[in-house]
Amino acid sequence: MDRLRAVAERLGPALAGFAALALVMLLLALDPAPVQRLQMQVFDVYQRAAPWEGANEAPAIVVDVDEMSIELLGQWPWPRTDLARLTRRLGEAGAEVVAYDIVFSEADRTSPEALAERYAGEAIGEELAALPGHDAQFAESFDEVPVVLAYFLERQAIGREIEPRMGISVSGNPPRGFVASYRGALPPVPVLEQAAAGTGFVSLDADDDGIVRRVPLVAFYGETLVPSLSLEQVRVALNAGSPNLLTSAGSGETTYADSAAAVAMRLDGIEVPLNEAGEMWVHYPPEGSREMLPAWRIITGDISDTELAEAVAGRLVLVGGSAVGLQDLVSTPLTERTAGVNVHAAAVEQMLAGHFLERPDWASALEGVLALLLGVALALMLPRLGAGLGALAALLGIGAVIGVSWLAFTNALYLLDPIWPVLAILMVYAVQTVAVYYREERQRSYIHAAFDRYLSPELVRQIADDPNKLELGGEERDMSVLMCDIRGFSRISERYTPKQVIDFLIAFLTPMSEILLARKATLDKYIGDAILAFWNAPLDDPDHPANAARAALEMIAKTKQLNAAMAGQDSAVWPGEVKIGVGINSGLCCVGNMGSRKRLSYTLIGDTVNVASRLEGLTKQYGVPIAVGQTLTGRLDTFALLELDRVRAVGRDEPVTISALLGDEAMEASEDFQRLRSTHLAMLEAYRAQDWDVALSALERGKALYESFEIPGLHALFAERIAGLREDPPGEGWDGVYQATAK
């Protein structure tokens, strides 16, 4: 079970990454509208960064019904005689084909025959009826140049029937279900339609965001495939036969092999790549780069025949309007508002130039494979790389995908969508980062909980906030060390069962540990009934001497409280009067992870630790609860310290001065403690001078003070020792150092 848990812990981030990738692949299959819009916006950015620069070299020019033309020639619609003059002059100037991006679905209301009806039965009416009609004059102008007229397709069954000049053949099955289908049409008036060299629809459907990115070259009118204005103009210009629509069922392509999506339009050696709906992607030229010839200049004669011939000879002319009143303004990737005729002009130019943006049949499959491969690679690598290198790898992957997509656009005119591979990378990175963070937070919480048993909550919080403070490996530090032991624990162990002993130790060690942790101690270990704790590692504690002293005093006080609280309770839990001894010392220690390669322990070693252990052992002999080493004594000048003796501990050559810690600053300032310390120091001075009578006298004077401070054992020890030395003097070379005989 532990092994399975470890495996799951190790593989968790990778599995989370795979789950995120699976979600991305599911979304890719569903292809939601928001992602489609984002895809289109990416392609728009490409177009703005690299628009088509070949518009001025292409054999097409736009005659623009602009605001100035409306201002000079009057409100639209103009008399068809003006358009006849426009057409005639274009033909005489050598225009190849003229296409009107204007639908003439109604007769000219200013024509003589329309006015004759108003004056029927009158002489003026008969005179008007004898004049040639404006539509007829316009139709006659078509003799000067081939003209392609526009019509609208409608979803509803309205208008009248249309018949294309040249049918569209299909290689494969008709692309029903993909190509737009219409039931009605608003064609030109019959006299114009019959005179025209061709007709084509001008219905443009923008994407959901209102931007026109594609031009349909074909649509269904009932059961008949009909051409767009741009396709028909190119056909007439090339004097080509029937256009041929290639569908997926006849092309060998596999994306729509089971249906009949449009693939390409073939016309006199030109093959125009289409999307499944029969639409051609338009690569727009920079705004303002297209040559525009105002209609008013041609109609009014402002432009000379020579200048007009230089502008239009041998070129395809498209007539349309940028004036707001004509309501033919559309949005493109490069401009917020432009005349719709410019869209048709771009399509015509690119068909004749063989310049095609294309989203290949295999593009979606490639994008899916890239998303899958990059997502899997990142999911496997990221847990090993870590956050920094993982972020770099993700950025490199995103940069590579976008770079390939951009190069495909600029070099091959392919529209390859970087969104899905980038989304796969981002999703895998984000989810795995969260998973790794969650795993690390769990580990951090586990470590936090584990260290809570050894360190104070404040120290654990600091380590969690800044792990760099936790330096692993041995280092020398100035530290304070505390050793606490229960007196007479061997007798307690003899009297009780192991289970009872454990219950007692839990009841005792728990509050003692809480005191130590509250005072910022690190619990090193429990040695049976003993506690080893230290300060100033792993985190800095500039007040470690005072914290150690206060912890020792609180442990003594807590033991008394426990004795009082447990009195009269079940002796199986608390074995009567419990007393402890505490040794404290300060100095250099080596602290860190120590042990073997198989097992480590965060602990400390050094002479300071040994001295603390010896001091704890001496507390029983001197009858005091807390013994303090001489190094620590100098750092606790505000505490109630009473010098005990100069002792040469077992196994040591150098003697140390030990003191008893009896209380805090309040006790140190009390008159009773000052009298005790004065009396005791006087006794020690006489004792070391071998003036036994003075020493005994000082002891007797302070006997009540020793008892009031609960250290009568110290009084008894020196009384007995002085009596023995009086009987057997140590001699003149005696240095007053006591040689300990037990640890």
CA distances to 288, 611, 616, 742 from 650, in Å? 101, 10, 13, 6
> Reduced to 3 states, what is the DSSP secondary structure of residue 586?
strand
Report the CATH number that the domain containing residue 551 is assigned in CATH. Answer: 3.30.70.1230
In a domain, 46, yes or no: no
The number of distinct structural domains making up the chain is: 3
Q: Among 294-308, 403-417, 473-487, which is the least confidently predicted range?
A: 473-487
Residue 99: closest CA among 352, 350, 345:
345
Q: Which helix (H) or strand (E) holds 99?
A: strand 97-100
Q: Read off the pLDDT of each residue in 527-555 and give the average, rounded to a whole number.
A: 94
Confidence of residue 492 (pLDDT cuts 50, 70, 90): confident
Cα(637)–Cα(23) distance, integer angstroms: 69
- Domain membership flag for residue 461: no
Residue at which a domain ends, from 334, 353, 372: 353
Beta strands 530-535; 522-527: pairing state? antiparallel
Mark whether 563 and 516 lie in a shared domain: yes
Q: Using one digit for the tens of pLDDT, what is the confidence trace for 48-59?
A: 999 998 766 768
Whether 131 and 177 map to the same domain: the answer is: yes
Of the residues 330, 353, 376, the one at which a domain ends: 353
Give dist(CA 249, CA 439) in Å, integer.
52
Query: Which stretches of 60-130 are DSSP H helices?
Result: 67-73, 80-92, 112-118, 123-130
Nearest-CA neighbor of 545 among 578, 580, 521, 571?
Answer: 521
On whether both 529 and 663 belong to a single domain, the answer is yes
The pair of structure tokens assigned to 179 is 């190509």
Residue 48 within a domain: no
415 and 277 both lie in a single domain = no
Q: Are residues 505 and 554 in the same domain?
A: yes
pLDDT for the residue numbered 219 = 96
Q: Which domain holds residue 494?
A: 468-739
pLDDT of residue 1: 46
For residue 658, list its beta bridge partners. 645
Which of 11-34 are b and which e, b meaning 16 or more Cβ less than 10 Å from the residue's Cβ?
A: ebbbebbbebbeebbebbeeeeee
Distance (Å, whole) CA 113 – CA 356: 47
| Mean pLDDT of the 586-598 span | 82
391 inside domain: yes
Cis ω on the peptide bond leading into residue 77 (within 30° of 0)?
A: yes
Based on the domain organization, do 339 and 377 belong to the same domain?
Answer: no
Are 550 and 660 part of one and the same domain?
yes
Tokens 């018949």 identify what position? 163
Q: What percent of the chain has pLDDT over 90?
A: 66
* Contact assessment for residue 643 and residue 680, using Cβ atoms and an 8 Å cutoff: yes
**H or E segment to which residue 439 belongs:** helix 419-451
Query: Where among 332, 353, 374 does a domain terminate?
Result: 353
Rounded-to-integer distance, Cα 271 and Cα 86, Å? 33
What are 656-677's pLDDT values in tens digits? 899 999 999 999 999 999 999 9
Q: Write out the two tokens for 371.
A: 């998303």
Q: What is the pLDDT of residue 438?
A: 73
Instruction: Write the CB contacts of 531 (distance below 8 Å, at least 6 apart in sequence).
Output: 482, 483, 484, 485, 509, 512, 513, 516, 523
Question: 107 Cβ partners below 8 Å, 6+ apart?
Answer: 114, 135, 189
**Per the domain annotation, does 511 fall within a domain?**
yes
Whether residue 138 is found in the same domain as residue 262: yes
* Average pLDDT of the segment spanning 491-519: 91
Domain membership of residue 99 (yes or no) is: yes
CA distance 309 to 305: 6
User: Is residue 456 situated within a structural domain?
Assistant: no
Task: Please tell me whether residues 399 and 304 are part of one structural domain.
Answer: no
Q: Are residues 336 and 295 part of one domain?
A: yes
Total residues belonging to the chain: 743
Segment 272-294 shows an average pLDDT of 92
Shared domain check, 623 and 525: yes
Closest CA to 356 of 54, 148, 40: 54
In a domain, 459, yes or no: no
Mean pLDDT of the chain: 88
Cβ contacts of residue 678 below 8 Å, gap of 6+?
A: none
Whether residue 515 sits in one domain with residue 429: no
